Chain A
Amino acid sequence: MSNALNESKTESSSESTGVTTDVSTSTTTTGESDEQIRDEWSDFHFDGPAKLSVEDLNVHYGTDHALTDVSMEIPENSVTALIGPSGCGKSTYLRCLNRMNDRIKAARIEGSVELDGTEIYDANANLVELRKRVGMVFQQPNPFPKSIRDNISYGPRKHGDIDTGLLARLLGRDDTDEEIELVERSLRQAALWDEVSDRLDDNALGLSGGQQQRLCIARALATDPEVILMDEPASALDPIATSKIEDLVEELSEEYTVVIVTHNMQQAARISDQTAVFLTGGELVEYDDTEKIFENPESQRVEDYISGKFG
């Protein structure tokens, strides 16, 4: 510790002579290895149960090591932000949480991901069920080229939760009322209902980008998920649409577990309860309460990254 103090003094005295413009004043971060830092924040505790528990997760794409020994627990009904520079593995990590990387042939995934204590990489795991419970929203809004109504009801129909049409009517299993209710509920939850309630049969591609993204969120909510993964959901949107998505994320966290990848650090600071910082090499460098990360991070590398001293 005294060593760290000395280092900082040398640093600041050179500042006062104007040699460097670095005004970093933290002494708690200097002189400690990332290994020591990890010990500090691995004590990060939260109240309530972990929705997702990730242990020693490693991902290789061919010879490229995209994620290195990542372990973290994600608390239920909260917003967890994943930040870090491009190529740091945060999207890879996100996609591991509902096995989206399974679709990439070159990807080799090792380690464990538990959802409510059950291993999702178990050979017997039901992928359809998993992705129903762990929904996803992508960077570019990607509604189906169908009506607004059909975008919402597509998932529940596929899962067999809703049955409509002539055959269903003949068999006495017609769920038209349920469908109407589901469409309205999902659109309301995604704060889109008031804008589209009078044109549910219009093609979804006619909506603005911000509306399309909220439709995609409504679509993800329609299958009644428990976890919502968002990969830069607002990066293609203007500030007003962005603030609507941000409000929505905060609201959703009352009932859902939200994990969000963002390049916008202020967005992470605004909306998340805890923040995980990934740095180059697919390494989780620090994971803690968002206030802690943005006010007093343990790692100097994290401090440099969030202060924009990188590169």
Chain B
Amino acid sequence: MKKTGIIAAGALGALVMAGCGSSTSGGTVTASSKCSTSIGFEGPITGPASPVGDEQLHFAELALSMDNTANKTSIKLVQGDTQLNPAQATTVTQQFTSNSAIVGVVGPAGSQEVEAVGPLMARAGLAFMSGSATNSTLTTGKYPTFFRVVSNDGVQGPQDANYIIKNLHPKALMIVDDQEVYSTGLVSSMIPVFQAAGVKVDHESVSQTLKDFSSLVAKVTPATTVVVLPWQLAANAQQFGRDLAQQHKNAVIFGTDGLFSPGTFSISGSYVSSFGPDITAIPADASLVATATAKYGTFGTFGPPIFAATHVFDEAIASVCKAGKTPSRANVLAAVKATNEPTSILGQPISFGPHGDLVNGKFFLFKLNSGGKYQLIPS
């Protein structure tokens, strides 16, 4: 990674010396300094999911800053706060689609938001790429301009369910959705696996706005040894864990994606499966981790995929400019579809299937030790 960066920097220097407009080197495309356009960012910058949105915004800004320098582009980021709310995401998307300067959108964060904005984005021919929306139904072809840099629930749900069956051996478990598309999708893909294995399943459902789980926890019987929480809000899971402890229940929490939040969810003995890797453990990302940590402090798994998604857009725009064209929604969409990055900060290549899914995506499993620290374990 460092070597590529040095080569790219060298190539950039040579190009400047030669007064040339554009060139390519390794995986990075350099473009004319007149390559100027905007991309949108949709995320929950405020509201209960703001820890997720803040992290995503920081990594989008970081990627844009680094890519603008490397590619000699002038891409601007237009922020849109969705609050993880489909209605709010729709309003933001209407603003973005009517802004002709925006040629692509990073986000939104939630599957329910993608469901809401997908038709608007398609009608506007605007490519949009999520770093965290994993519901399987989003990539059936109904949203032709949608992409994601993370795996889908069709992979995660069964994989997690099988892990629970083989390693935690529950006879009975409780699975609680949070009434959002993301959560209900995962639950739907897990329950058949549990039932096929003969595990007794108590399926519950609570709103994301609920803060008191004591009534639900009272239903956790001594035979219920695992509680599966495919939730987006780590703070809610933390409260659920506290309610378990308060009622002296020993069930293990198995959470997904949103629960990867070291500052918020720290119930020891819990498991968290995540679409994103812990990039602090990827040696090639050491420099980026240091930069991000210095600028924004500690981070979880939501930021890096957004960095990767922003980078895909940046490279797509740079390649359009390099071809001597002005970036437009159509040519950026075509360039995004043709993405073929041999490596990324996520530790895996990035290319997209016919309906926008990440090719060969994978999930990562973490266990929280007694100090609440997240440790990657084989899944």
Do A and B associate with each other?
A: no
Which residues does B use to contact A, with CB under 8 Å?
A: none
Which residues does A use to contact B, with CB under 8 Å?
A: none
